[in-house]
Amino acid sequence: LLKNEPASTACIFSCQMGKGRTTLGIVAALLIKEIQLTTELRNMEKMNLINPDTLTNLLFKKFEHVQIINQEEIDPLTKGEFEVIKQLCSALPEATKAKEKIDIIIDKCGHPTRGVGIQNLRECIMETKWKFDVSPEERQGAFKIMIINFIERYFYLVCYCMYSMEFGPGGYQTTFHAWMEEKKELRAMATEGKDKLEWSRTVDADKLEQLKLMMASPDYKENISKLIRT
């Protein structure tokens, strides 16, 4: 729908069931709108309607600027460095750039302070994993299914970004489904790699209780770095 709409078209998303699917729609729309605007501005540059340096600065401030955070305090998995994602980036070099772009959009759609939305579709994977780690065995099954689904969703978001970067500037003449059908190895990669995560580990009893208290705190999302170090 959006590919035939101008970039200025306002959008409202609500799945009326939660925040994950709503956020997914917002992420996809932001990516499409970014590519539409970027394409229009680059066409203006070709017609000498905008200075190249001005365009570079504008695109950086609008789409590429990220809030500086202490990277040492961020767990690699919170940054989306799952085995299946690393495999994707190794197999397709363009996936690395796609991951960088979609991560910026995901962070904008996430919770404050980096975002203005309701869920970070990348960080929610490890947030759920922490719940899995401290939950009783009878509840871990449900959390495991959620985590695997979240990893698969993130994998396909990176793929969708690769597709959009390739076909978006030309108006999406090829569908994402057709693009994926030509790359069947990606579906196999997602299916085989989405559950490659450390599911069993020994946790010190005192640390476990501390983690439970921290996870129960209403401000746990603002204290992610403390959770990681714990």
Residue-wise pLDDT for 103-120, tens only, equals 999 999 988 878 888 899
Name the residue among 95, 87, 72 with its Cα closest to residue 160.
95
pTM for the predicted model, two decimal places: 0.83
Rounded Cα–Cα distance for residues 150 and 19 (Å): 13
Say whether pLDDT at 124 is over 60: yes
- Give the ranges where the chain is alpha helix by DSSP (H): 20-46, 52-59, 83-91, 94-108, 123-134, 137-167, 176-181, 184-193, 205-216, 224-229
What tokens does 209 get? 């209780």
Say whether pLDDT at 186 is over 80: yes
Tokens 């990606």 found at? 186
Rounded Cα–Cα distance for residues 112 and 76 (Å): 20
120 φ, ψ to 5°? Answer: -95, 110
Structure confidence at residue 191 (pLDDT): 96
Structure confidence at residue 130 (pLDDT): 87
Across the chain, what does the average pLDDT equal? Answer: 87
Say whether pLDDT at 222 is over 70: no
Residues 6 or more apart whose CB falls under 8 angstroms from that of 151 comprise: 82, 84, 125, 194, 195, 197
